[in-house]
Amino acid sequence: MTLSSKLYGGRGVAVLLTAVLSTIIFANLAWSKSKAKPAVADAKTLVCNDTYSNNWPPLTIDLNEAESKIAITSPAWTSTRYKVPNHWAAFSSGPLPATFDSNTITFDRHDRDSDNFYQHFTINRLSGQLLYYTSINAPLDRARAEDQALFRYKCKVGKARF
């Protein structure tokens, strides 16, 4: 006589097998429910600095992955790189819709004072590199080469300094 038949009066194997299968099924259901919710990062602020010319001011990008939104801010600044200084006003845009995947965050900004100015941003989540494409008269994929520009920024998570 086996231990299971003593415990369950001859139906031991069937009862034991049912208990084991029930445990496995409930464990799998609990695991699949925990996997069904995608991991979403907390809201973060990135500080992105121009890595090519060091001529452009830092951009601040507030990420809200839970809502698939970003906000982007740039300070006012003056470039003295050329004979005649160029002045740019500060801007802030957002929240703007963004696409968050495991490798990149992408978004567009088309709210400048001119309808013919297009901006597309792609952030590599692993390297922190921001590629900022801008074009005039057409979106980048349809703009003439002389109407396109690419800027590279390096982004880090902003941290309070005081």
pLDDT per position as a tens digit, 49-107: 988 766 778 899 999 999 999 999 988 888 776 677 777 788 888 899 999 999 999 99
Residue 69: exposure state from Cβ atoms within 10 A (0-12, 13-18, ≥19): middle
Q: Please check whether residues 108 and 78 belong to one and the same domain.
A: yes
Per-residue model confidence as pLDDT tens digits over 23-61: 444 444 444 444 444 445 567 999 999 887 667 788 999
The Cα 60–Cα 155 span in angstroms is 9
Looking at the whole model, is its pTM more than 0.75? no
Q: What is the residue range of 20's domain?
A: 3-36
Residue 57 located in a structural domain: yes
Backbone angles phi, psi at 34, to 5 degrees: -70, -30
CATH code of the domain containing 131:
2.40.128
Asked if the structure places residue 162 within a domain, the reply is: no
Please confirm whether the linkage preceding 139 is cis (ω < 30° from 0): no
How many domains does the chain fold into? 2
